[in-house]
């Protein structure tokens, strides 16, 4: 190639990169994962556009669901300076293990949990986390400008030269971006378009884990307060409660104290094995679950032989706040998280949906969002598309790194196994599980699952020549 042509090619490549970096990052889905993407992109002055199926007025609605926040997630919150996140989330000083009949099995101090390093553990309502993230975005989130609510992505097309991705919304609006980050949850339509492509429908099937889960929230009445007292045995702060089933009383129930202003609430969930998939709706804020009086009555019938506390918690929960869902993951756990052209990436449940029994669904999604958008942010300030974080494709490709894919696969499989074990109707399995919770070291019961997220996030920071997350808050 002659020198003149080399100069022309260099100029064209530089111009293409410059044009690409002037485009926004399109984020499909404004749950915790999508909102964290926006917060990190904002930190690095990267323009973004949020697309969310839910109407703006319902974005941070309290649907009763919540998450355990792993150490990596809370360090991300501190790193980003989320407004008053500690004060707004619930911290608990212990985990009280009990049987379904109400017998006390064990108290595990939160400071003994792997990865806590002697610190408190946190949990939060989905709505509280979303509110923190929306407040962090502040006036930079403008409906109709860089945020489109009540619509969803119906199609996308990637330029073959990697310069842009064109996205079509359900209202007919067309957007152009440097990348499309898919944070649409386990029923992601964009995932179907990427992974099924020209193949036959059903080429990327979901896997029903044969488990039904109910969840809800209720205000703590005087009666509930008295029933809860034996479970709150930690010296300081509240205790997260876990009720173990066995052959005669199968299933699993968890209850976490929470506050909303000056009111005390209980966030709870119950799980049972199920041969038939529960009904579904389009309400993705509730994972497509159904709710109402019939759902509540069904759960009350399941719990009729369980201890009074569990029955009272469900009784005190309004029927409109009781949701029932089926638990799903994916049959094929080897699918790529990045499109063949490299401009579209699946994050969180859109990539690796899982049962909640390891508490990693939201935590992995937040790690995905932070790592990818930190890389995109640093790439935004580079003048050349070289190096580990020098291009959009390189930034997104971390999701398909071998270590991350192996961690995701292992976590999904372990979450599936634990879900089936915790809801088993086998008397033998129930006995072994109860004795394990009673006598085994904490590290055997609650392994350092979050370590993979910390490694993934810190690798992104190292590659971007930034300080890694601190060991302690």
pLDDT (0 to 100) of residue 278: 85
Residue 163 Cα distances to 24, 50, 125, 391, angstroms: 12, 20, 39, 10
The per-residue pLDDT for range 133-150, each reduced to its tens digit, is 999 999 989 998 899 999
427: enclosing H helix or E strand:
helix 427-439
pLDDT (0 to 100) of residue 10: 45
Q: Would you say 358 and 414 are in contact if contact means Cβ atoms under 8 Å apart?
A: yes
Residue with tokens 């111009």, as numbered in its chain: 15
- Rg of the Cα trace of the chain? 23
**Helices 402-422/361-380 angle, 10° precision:** 160
Q: pTM of the prediction? A: 0.90
Which residues make beta-bridge pairs with 27? 50, 181
pLDDT (0 to 100) of residue 68: 86
In degrees and rounded to multiples of 5, residue 327 shows phi and psi of: -100, 130
383 pLDDT above the threshold of 70: no
pLDDT (0 to 100) of residue 381: 73
Residue with tokens 């889905």, as numbered in its chain: 29
- Per-residue tokens: 183: 């944070």
Q: Write down the mean pLDDT value for the chain.
A: 87
Q: Which of 377, 374, 349, 350 is nearest to 363 (CA)?
A: 349
pLDDT (0 to 100) of residue 20: 60
Beta strands 66-69 and 121-125 are antiparallel
Question: DSSP strand E in 205-311: where?
Answer: 206-219, 238-244, 252-260, 263-273, 290-291
**What integer is the mean pLDDT of 371-400?**
78
- Percent of the chain scored above 70 by pLDDT? 88
pLDDT (0 to 100) of residue 16: 47
Residue bearing the bigger pLDDT, 162 or 25: 25
Q: Would you say 47 and 342 are in contact if contact means Cβ atoms under 8 Å apart?
A: no
In degrees and rounded to multiples of 5, residue 145 shows phi and psi of: -110, -80
Separation of alpha carbons 108 and 92, rounded Å: 11
195 pLDDT above the threshold of 70: yes
Q: Would you say 296 and 314 are in contact if contact means Cβ atoms under 8 Å apart?
A: yes
The per-residue pLDDT for range 256-298, each reduced to its tens digit, is 888 777 888 899 999 999 988 888 766 666 667 888 899 999 9
The per-residue pLDDT for range 60-113, each reduced to its tens digit, is 887 767 888 999 999 999 999 999 998 888 888 888 999 999 999 999 888 787
174 pLDDT above the threshold of 50: yes
pLDDT (0 to 100) of residue 12: 45
**What integer is the mean pLDDT of 187-204?**
73
Burial 225-250 (b: 16+ CB within 10 A, else e): eebbeebbebeebbbbbbbbbbeebb
**What integer is the mean pLDDT of 111-128?**
76
Longest distance between any two alpha carbons in the chain, whole Å: 85
pLDDT (0 to 100) of residue 416: 96
**What integer is the mean pLDDT of 400-422?**
96
pLDDT (0 to 100) of residue 5: 54
Which residues make beta-bridge pairs with 270? 214, 253
The per-residue pLDDT for range 322-349, each reduced to its tens digit, is 999 999 999 989 899 999 989 999 999 9
């Amino acid at each position: 190639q002659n020198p003149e042509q080399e100069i022309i090619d260099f100029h064209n490549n530089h111009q293409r990169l410059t044009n690409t970096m002037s485009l926004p990052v399109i984020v499909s889905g404004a749950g915790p994962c999508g909102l964290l993407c926006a917060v990190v992109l904002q930190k690095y002055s990267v323009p973004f556009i949020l697309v969310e199926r839910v109407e703006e007025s319902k974005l941070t609605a309290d649907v009763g669901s919540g998450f355990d926040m792993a150490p990596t997630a809370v360090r991300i919150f501190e790193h980003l300076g989320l407004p008053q996140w500690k004060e707004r989330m619930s911290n608990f000083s212990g985990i009280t293990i009990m049987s379904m009949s109400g017998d006390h099995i064990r108290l595990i101090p939160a400071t003994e949990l792997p990865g806590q390093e002697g610190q408190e553990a946190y949990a939060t309502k989905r709505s509280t986390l979303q509110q923190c993230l929306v407040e962090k975005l502040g006036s930079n989130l403008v409906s109709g400008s860089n945020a489109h609510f009540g619509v969803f992505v119906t199609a996308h097309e990637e330029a073959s030269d990697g310069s842009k991705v064109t996205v079509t919304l359900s209202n007919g609006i067309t957007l152009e971006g440097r990348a499309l980050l898919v944070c649409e949850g386990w029923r992601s339509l964009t995932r179907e378009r990427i992974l099924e492509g020209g193949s036959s429908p059903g080429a990327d099937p979901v896997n029903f884990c044969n488990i039904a889960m109910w969840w809800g929230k209720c205000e703590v009445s005087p009666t509930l307060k008295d029933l809860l007292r034996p479970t709150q045995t930690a010296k300081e702060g509240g205790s997260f409660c876990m009720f173990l089933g066995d052959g005669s009383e199968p299933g699993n129930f968890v209850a976490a104290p929470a506050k909303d202003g000056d009111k005390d609430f209980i966030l709870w969930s119950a799980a049972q094995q199920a041969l038939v998939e529960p009904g579904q709706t389009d309400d993705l804020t509730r994972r497509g679950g159904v709710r109402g009086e019939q759902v509540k009555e069904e759960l009350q019938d399941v719990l009729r032989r369980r201890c009074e506390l569990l029955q009272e918690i469900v009784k005190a929960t309004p029927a409109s706040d009781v949701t029932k869902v089926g638990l799903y993951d994916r049959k094929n756990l080897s699918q790529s998280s990045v499109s063949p052209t490299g401009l579209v990436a699946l994050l969180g449940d859109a990539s690796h949906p899982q049962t909640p029994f390891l508490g990693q669904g939201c935590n992995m999604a937040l790690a995905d969002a932070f790592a990818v958008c930190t890389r995109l942010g640093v790439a935004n300030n580079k003048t050349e598309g070289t190096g580990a974080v020098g291009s959009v494709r390189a930034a997104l490709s971390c999701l398909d790194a071998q270590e991350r894919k192996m961690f995701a696969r292992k976590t999904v499989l372990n979450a599936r196994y634990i879900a089936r074990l915790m809801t088993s109707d086998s008397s033998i399995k129930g006995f072994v599980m109860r004795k394990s919770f009673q006598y085994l070291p904490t590290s055997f019961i609650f392994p350092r699952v979050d370590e993979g997220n910390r490694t993934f996030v810190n690798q992104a920071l190292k590659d971007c020549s930034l300080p890694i997350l601190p060991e302690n808050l």
